[in-house]
């Protein structure tokens, strides 16, 4: 018998799964003192999943989601190239909004939806990586 296809291979399912995970991430962050500034910031050159404010820091949150329990490997999928794209996206956002003196931090939040559990499991990596690229920012 051939293996059954996984639902995440279907584009509509992936979109729904990703949106569900981003909503869960926003709830988690609110409960932990973040104020959600924007979701899905897209300027045509890159996208930021969540922008939050914690204290006086602007936090760029990359949300990753999975159906399995291996949260560490999902978090590791935010590789150097993705970090560079996020850095460039927040630099463009910061330039448009003239937020030159605002400290910025990059977090990775992994949401796991194991089939046997009612609530997602969350793994939050605060200050997950520094700014990457030619024009790094200082926070």
Q: Using the structure block, give the residue that is written with the tokens 């909503």.
A: 23
pLDDT in tens, 10-46: 676 667 677 888 999 999 999 999 999 999 898 888 8
Strand 47-54 and strand 57-66: the pairing is: antiparallel
Residue 65's nearest CA partner among 114, 107, 27 is 114
The percent of residues above 70 in pLDDT, for the chain, comes to 83
What is the CATH T-level fold of the domain 7-125, as seen in this structure? Trna Endonuclease; Chain: A, domain 1 (3.40.1350)
| Predicted pLDDT at 6 | 55
Q: Where are the domains of the chain?
A: 7-125
Are 123 and 28 spatial neighbours (Cβ–Cβ below 8 Å)?
A: no
pLDDT in tens, 62-93: 999 887 767 777 787 899 999 999 999 999 99
* 93 C-beta neighbours (distance < 10 Å), count: 19
pLDDT value at 1 more than 60: no
Non-local CB neighbours of 104 within 8 Å, separated by 6+ positions: 57, 58, 59, 60, 90, 94, 131, 137, 139
| Predicted pLDDT at 139 | 42
CA 109 to chain centre: 6
The whole-angstrom separation of Cα 48 and Cα 37 is 11
């Amino acid at each position: 018998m051939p293996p059954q296809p996984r639902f995440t291979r279907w584009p509509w399912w992936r979109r729904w799964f990703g949106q569900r995970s981003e909503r869960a991430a926003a709830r988690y962050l609110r409960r932990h003192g973040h104020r959600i500034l924007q979701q899905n910031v897209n300027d045509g050159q890159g996208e930021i999943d969540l922008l939050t404010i914690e204290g006086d820091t602007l936090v760029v949150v990359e949300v990753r989601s999975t159906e399995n329990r291996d949260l560490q490997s999902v978090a590791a999928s935010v590789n150097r190239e993705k970090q560079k794209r996020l850095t460039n996206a927040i630099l463009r956002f910061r330039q448009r909004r003239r937020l030159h003196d605002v400290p910025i931090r990059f977090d990775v939040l992994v949401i796991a939806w194991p089939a046997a559990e009612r609530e997602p499991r969350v793994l939050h990596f605060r200050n997950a990586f520094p700014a990457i690229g030619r024009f790094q920012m200082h926070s």
